Structure 1
Amino acid sequence: MSSLSSPDTPNPLGLDSEAAARRIASAAAHSAAVKRRERMAQWHLLFIAIVVLGPLVIYPLVRLVMLSLTGAHGLSGEAYVTFFGNPETRGVIGTTLGILFASASLASLLGVAIASILFFKPFPGARLVTRFLELFVAFPSFLVAFTLIFLYGSQGSVSIALQRLFNLQAPPLNFLFGIGGVILAEVVFYTPFVVRPTLASFALLDQRLIEAARSLGANGLMVAFKVILPLAWPGIAAGTILCFLLTLNEFGILLVLGSAHLVTLPVAIYSAATVDLDLPTAAAGAVVMLLMSLSLYALYRRVNSRKVKGAGHGR
């Protein structure tokens, strides 16, 4: 007993208290550093909002909305009444939605098909094709329109070759300057925007599930629709919505290939602002188009967040 109460024996409780005090002090210092970083991040965000987003994004959008609400005697919804009251507006919106759904749907189906071939049925040169599709998204859209004119226009190389080959009196191809050419150009241009997110979604699949389905006797279609599609649909849906969003805001292809009878919402807004010099009506149309774009973008963010969460759960 005397050896246990000896003054030479260290006090474990005292050491534990000292270590606990150091841990508390370290935690407090860490918490203070985190709060300082959070305050600095808030100040940086405020600086970006005021210096960058303010003059480049927020101010133009506010001015656009205010211009659309400006009438002869102050604030007014006259511009929206003029825009929606125009008998041609319904036709313009119908044409815009028709081209949108035709182009984006075909581009989405083609993009998923190409991504499926590149991922599940790779061939010599498949990697090169993938890299080209990634590079293709950097091209301006009007360049694709001009390329199609040089190839498939009435005086394009393919049309002239067919005319000479079959001894025709006139060039056989004459469809580009209209709705057919616009849809073709948009499908060609926006298909790669679907291919990339679909490939990324396929890369996250658990290959063991696919092999298990095949070992149980499932054929290719059953594996595709019962296993692959349910697992990869968030990435496919995100790519499809992105394609719809970009197609909705397309202007270069419409400007090059659109005829005088093919007026879509972007073209109508451009004409109202530059030809008719009716800035309030043009601003009202721009606000309507902005709301449509923001709705698609919100849907894209929601689907993309599900994709990221699904990838996290998969890991």
Structure 2
Amino acid sequence: MSSLSTADTPNPLSAAEAAANARRSASAASHTAAVKRRERAAQWHLLFIAVVVLGPLVIYPLVRLVMLSLTGPHGLSVQAYSTFFGNPETRGVIGTTLWILFASAGLASLLGVALASLLFFKPFPGARMITRFLELFVAFPSFLVAFTLIFLYGSQGSVSIGLQRLFNLPAPPLNFLFGIGGVILAEVVFYAPFVVRPTLASFALLDRSLIEAARSLGANGMMVAFEVILPLAWPGIAAGTILCFLLTLNEFGILLVLGSAHLITLPVAIYGSATVDLDLPTAAAGAVVMLMMSLSLYALYRRVNRRKVKGAGHGR
């Protein structure tokens, strides 16, 4: 009898474990349901942003742009692209665009990396203020830089007039701004700060002990720069350089202010087709070509920036 009664009596420990398991299951189910609700809410928020914000401001204009470039007299057609690429001036326009792009963005990138290196590795009194000014400088509109250069270095600018009076010259000595030289100078001045910031951020993640170890082993400054610093900091430098190329490719304000009648780049050609020739399909075709170039550079920038973030995570 006693054995039978013992067997029939429920184990208190087993009952407690069962209750705990039930509570854990209920908690897990509640957590899973809460996660699903948050995911559904995030999806609805994303859909709302896409429909209400991105739809009328981004998606619809881009779709209309592509459809306009594919519209012909009798429906869908690639005539606009044939007109754009068949124009004998198009090759010159693209060549001028690429020449200004590589000259301006290349020089701006070199200047930005040099400035960042000086500010980070050779700090001097006022370096912090200069860094803050460069951060503020990126908020300026590009055409403001162009007008500033005109007021300073134009044929009637203060520097040019000052040199004329100082050396008793018959005419102002500086007369290069309204052309390719002025455009490249303005774009270098304006876009170099866009390279400084990511380069400084990349330098800040460096392990200074590696630099000190290289110096203690007898490496000079050039060896430390090209064999230690550059291999470690190149993702940030590359991201800043690609961003500089992307922004320079889409520059229009400086070209509009300082570009001459013979200096026609792709943005200026698109603007002229749309406003002067009133050839909207050809202008749309050129805009789509430029959009593809910009998206390619942006995809490359995102890829390099992800590698930079991963490298920073591994470094920590």
TM-score of the superposed pair, with normalisation by structure 1: 0.96
Greater alpha carbon shift after TM alignment, 72-81 vs 208-217: 208-217
Which runs of structure 2 are paired with 1:262-281 in the superposition (5 Å)? Answer: 262-281=263-282
The equivalent of 1:297 in structure 2 is 298
One-letter code aligned to 1:224: A
In 1, the alpha carbon distance for the partners of 2:208 and 2:43 equals: 43
The equivalent of 2:35 in structure 1 is 34
In 1, the alpha carbon distance for the partners of 2:267 and 2:88 equals: 17
The equivalent of 1:216 in structure 2 is 217
The equivalent of 2:105 in structure 1 is 104
Secondary structure, counterpart of 1:171 in structure 2: coil
**Would you say 1:117 and 2:118 are equivalent positions?**
yes
Give how far 1:212 is off: 1.4
Deviations along 1:85-139, one digit per CA (max 9) or x if unpaired, are: 0000000000000000000000000000000010111000000000000000000
The equivalent of 1:248 in structure 2 is 249
The equivalent of 1:154 in structure 2 is 155
In 2, the alpha carbon distance for the partners of 1:98 and 1:264 equals: 10
Which runs of structure 2 are paired with 1:49-68 in the superposition (5 Å)? Answer: 49-68=50-69
Q: For residues 21 and 139 of structure 1, do their structure 2 counterparts lie closer, same or farther at Cα, with a shift above 3 Å needed?
A: same
The root-mean-square deviation of aligned C-alpha atoms, in Å, is: 1.6
Give how far 1:11 is off: 3.3
Greater alpha carbon shift after TM alignment, 244-253 vs 208-217: 208-217
The equivalent of 2:262 in structure 1 is 261
**Would you say 1:86 and 2:87 are equivalent positions?**
yes
Deviations along 1:189-213, one digit per CA (max 9) or x if unpaired, are: 0000000000011111111111111
Secondary structure, counterpart of 1:155 in structure 2: coil
One-letter code aligned to 2:55: G
Greater alpha carbon shift after TM alignment, 24-33 vs 39-48: 24-33
In 2, the alpha carbon distance for the partners of 1:271 and 1:91 equals: 15
In 2, the alpha carbon distance for the partners of 1:97 and 1:91 equals: 10
Secondary structure, counterpart of 1:123 in structure 2: coil
Secondary structure, counterpart of 2:278 in structure 1: coil
In 1, the alpha carbon distance for the partners of 2:22 and 2:230 equals: 56
**Would you say 1:126 and 2:138 are equivalent positions?**
no
One-letter code aligned to 1:79: A
In 1, the alpha carbon distance for the partners of 2:17 and 2:212 equals: 56
Which runs of structure 2 are paired with 1:3-14 in the superposition (5 Å)? Answer: 11-14=12-15
One-letter code aligned to 1:105: G
In 2, the alpha carbon distance for the partners of 1:269 and 1:84 equals: 13
Q: How many residues align?
A: 311
One-letter code aligned to 1:203: A
**Would you say 1:233 and 2:238 are equivalent positions?**
no
The equivalent of 2:200 in structure 1 is 199
Give how far 1:10 is off: 8.0
Secondary structure, counterpart of 2:149 in structure 1: helix
Structure 2 unaligned spans of 5+:
1-5
Deviations along 1:170-195, one digit per CA (max 9) or x if unpaired, are: 11100000000000000000000000
In 1, the alpha carbon distance for the partners of 2:34 and 2:213 equals: 51
Secondary structure, counterpart of 2:115 in structure 1: helix
In 2, the alpha carbon distance for the partners of 1:33 and 1:225 equals: 52
In 2, the alpha carbon distance for the partners of 1:179 and 1:124 equals: 36
In 1, the alpha carbon distance for the partners of 2:39 and 2:210 equals: 43
Q: For residues 210 and 12 of structure 1, do their structure 2 counterparts lie closer, same or farther at Cα, with a shift above 3 Å needed?
A: farther
Which runs of structure 2 are paired with 1:174-185 in the superposition (5 Å)? Answer: 174-185=175-186
The equivalent of 1:309 in structure 2 is 310
In 1, the alpha carbon distance for the partners of 2:200 and 2:301 equals: 17
In 2, the alpha carbon distance for the partners of 1:287 and 1:223 equals: 44
Identity, % of aligned pairs? 87
In 2, the alpha carbon distance for the partners of 1:225 and 1:16 equals: 64
One-letter code aligned to 1:63: R
Deviations along 1:257-280, one digit per CA (max 9) or x if unpaired, are: 000000000000000000000000
Greater alpha carbon shift after TM alignment, 148-157 vs 219-228: 219-228
